[in-house]
Amino acid sequence: MTQLSVNVNKIAVLRNSRGGLEPDVGAAAAACIAAGAAGITVHPRPDQRHIRADDVFSLKALIADRVEFNIEGNAFAPARAGYPGFVQLIERVRPAQCTLVPDGDAQLTSDHGFDLRADGARLKPLITELKALGARVSLFVDADYADVGHAAELGADRVEIYTGPYAEAFATGDYTQALARCVACAERARAAGLGVNAGHDLSQANLGALKTAIPFLAEVSIGHALIGEALYAGLDATVKAYLRILAQ
Residue of 244, 242, 219 whose CA lies nearest to 70: 219
E runs forming strands in the chain: 3-7, 39-42, 68-73, 97-100, 136-142, 158-162, 195-199, 219-222
Asked if 168 is an active-site residue, the reply is no
What CA–CA distance (Å, rounded) separates 21 from 25?
Answer: 8
| Cβ–Cβ < 8 Å for 221, 99 | yes
**79: DSSP letter:** P
Q: Which one from 43, 50, 219, 229 is the annotated catalytic residue?
A: 43
Q: How many CB atoms lie within 10 A of CB 148?
A: 29
Q: Which one from 68, 72, 219, 229 is the annotated catalytic residue?
A: 72
Q: Which one from 50, 68, 160, 200 is the annotated catalytic residue?
A: 200
State the alpha helices, DSSP H only, in 133-223.
Answer: 150-153, 164-172, 176-191, 204-213
| Cβ–Cβ < 8 Å for 130, 94 | no
What CA–CA distance (Å, rounded) separates 188 from 146?
Answer: 8
Relative to beta strand 3-7, strand 97-100 is unpaired
Kind plus residue range of the DSSP H or E element containing 33: helix 25-35
Catalytic (active-site) positions:
43, 72, 200
